[in-house]
Structure 1
Amino acid sequence: MDESASFEIQVLADTKDTADALAGDLTRELKRAVRGVEVTRQKAPDEENTQLVGTVLVAILGTKAVVELSKGVRAWLEKNQSAKVTIKGNGEIIVENAKSGDVEKILGLLQSTKE
C-alpha cells in the first residue's frame, strides 16, 4: 500500500477574493491532475507584516503521486503567472512566475517528505 503525504499550499494574492478564486482554480487543477488527491481548504493565518492575503489548501495524496502533484502545481502556475504560492512539506518553498524548470524545485521539496 502506498504511504500518504500531506502538503500545505498557501495561495497568495492582493485581495481575499482573488486568493479564494485562485485557490478554487488550483483545487480543480490538482483534482484533475492527481489521481486520488484529497484537497481541503483551511483558514489562512493572519499575517501582520505582509500586503498579501492567502487561502490555504491541504493536499493529501499517496507518495507515488508526488510527481503528478508537482506537475499540476506547475501547470496551474503557468496559467496563473501572477500567482504566488508557498508549499510546505518537510521544508518550505515559495514559487511565483513558474517556468518549466521549476518542476524540479517543486518536486525536490515534495519528495523530501518520503524520507
Structure 2
Amino acid sequence: MDKVMRLTTERGVVLFSKSSCCLCYAVKILFQELGVTPTIHEIDQDPEGREMERALMRLGCKAPVPAVFIGGKLVGSTNEVMSLHLGGGLIPLLRPYQAFC
C-alpha cells in the first residue's frame, strides 16, 4: 500500500496498467491525444505487482487496472475516465499536465 501511495503522488498523472490490457491501452491513447504523458506503472512487470493490485482495490478501484490518478487523487478506471472526458471534466483536470494547451 505504501508503494502505491508513494507512486501516485510522485507525478501529476499516474496510470497503473498491465502491458496486455486493451482498456489500459485505450486510456494511454486518450492521454496521448490530449497531450499528456502519464507516468505508467506496468504492474504485471513489477515484482510487487500482486500487492499493488490488492492495494489499488483497497483504495477503491473497481478493477485493478487501469487505475488513473491525477494530482494524487484516484479518478478511476476506464469507465470513470471516459465518462469524465465525455462530460467535459477531464481536460480541466489534465490542463496543468498537458504538453500543449
Query: Which TM-score applies when normalising by structure 2?
Result: 0.40
Higher strand share: 1
Query: Which has the greater radius of gyration?
Result: 1
Higher helix share: 2
Query: Which TM-score applies when normalising by structure 1?
Result: 0.37
